[in-house]
Amino acid sequence: MAIEIAKPLPIRLGNRYLYTLTSYEPVRVEVTVERPSDAEVELTLESLAADAGAAPEDVTDEWVRTHIGAPSVDELKASLVRERERAVAARADETRLSRAVAKLAERLGQKVPDDEVARYRSLLLRTNELDAGALGLSLDDLLRQLGTSRAEFERNLDAQATTMAEHDAALSAFASERKLTVDESEIPYLVGGDPARARQLVEQAKRAGTLEDLRAQCLTSKAARVVAAEATCVYVDETPEEAAARLQSMRDALSAIRERGTQESAPASSKDAGDGPNLHLV
C-alpha cells in the first residue's frame, strides 16, 4: 500500500503564496476526438425543424430559404457539417488545455492553504447565486428545479474550489519559473470574447484600481495556453460505444423539443374546439 506524503504549505509573500513544481517539463495528455457522422447532421436538421414547429417532411429548399436563410437543404447540411467540424476542433482544444493543466497540477510541490481554497469557494458560490438570480430564482429554488440537493451542491462546490485553487497554484509556479509576463496590450486578447468589451473591461479595471488583479488573471490564462501548446498530445478516435451514446443524447434532446412543442400547442388546440372547457395535458 502506497504511503501518501503530506505536502508542505507554501511560503507567503505579502498577499500571495509562492508555489513550485516537481518538474517544469512538458506534460503528456490524451484527447478523445469525436467523429461527425451523417446521422448527426440529420438529427441536427430535425432539431432545427422541430424548434420551428416543423416536421422532418416539411424541410424543403423553400422552407430552408424562408426559415433558416440557407439557399437549399444541401447547402444547409454542408454548413452544418462545417460548423460541427469547427465545434469538434474547439472542444478538442479545450480538452487539451484542461487536461494539460490538470497534469501540471499533479506536480504541485505544496498543499494549497485552506484559506485560499475558501476564497475560491466563495467566488464560485457567488457566481452560482448570480446565475440563479439572473433566472429570477434563489439558489435553493434553482437546485430544486435541477433535482440537486443542497448537500450534493456543497460537496461539488468544495471539490471544484479545491481543483481550481490547485490548478491556478500550479500555473502560478509555471509562470514564475518561465518568467512569463502580461503586457497591457495582451489583456484584451487573453480576456477573450468581444474585443471592444474586453478593452472596456481594461478601462474599468484602471478606474477601479484593479488592473493588476486583472493582469494576474490574464497571466494564469497565458500560462495555461503555454502549457497546452507545449504539451505532448495524443489524439484518439472515440469508440463506437461513445459515438452511439452521443447520438442517443441528441435523439433525447430532439424528443424533448418535440414534447415541448406538443405541450405548448395543446392549449391553442383546445381553444379552437369550441366553447367547452379549456383542457390540456400538463
Which pLDDT tens digit goes with each residue over 162-172? 999 999 999 99
Q: What is the pTM of this model?
A: 0.82
3-state secondary structure the chain: CCCCCCCCCCEEECCEEECCECCCCCCEEEEEECCCCHHHHHHHHHHHHHHCCCCHHHCCHHHHHHHCCCCCHHHHHHHHHHHHHHHHHHHHHHHHHHHHHHHHHCCECCCCCHHHHHHHHHHHHHHHHHHHHHCCCCHHHHHHHHCCCHHHHHHHHHHHHHHHHHHHHHHHHHHHHCCCCCCHHHHHHHHCCCHHHHHHHHHHHHHHCCHHHHHHHHHHHHHHHHHHHHCEEEEEECCHHHHHHHHHHHHHHHHHHHHHHHHHHHHHHHHCCCCCCCCCCC
Tell me the mean pLDDT in the region 27-40. 92
* pLDDT tens digits, one per residue of 115-133: 999 999 999 999 999 999 9
Task: Output 202 or 179, whichever has higher pLDDT.
Answer: 179
What was the pLDDT predicted at 2? 57
Instruction: Quick: pLDDT tens for 34-48.
Output: 988 899 999 999 998
Q: Quick one: CA dihedral 163, 168, 171, 172, positive or negative?
A: negative
Q: If you average pLDDT over every residue of the chain, what do you get?
A: 89
Cα within 13 Å of Cα(45), Cβ side: 25
For residue range 178-197, list pLDDT tens digits in order: 999 999 889 988 988 888 88
Q: What is the pLDDT of residue 265?
A: 59
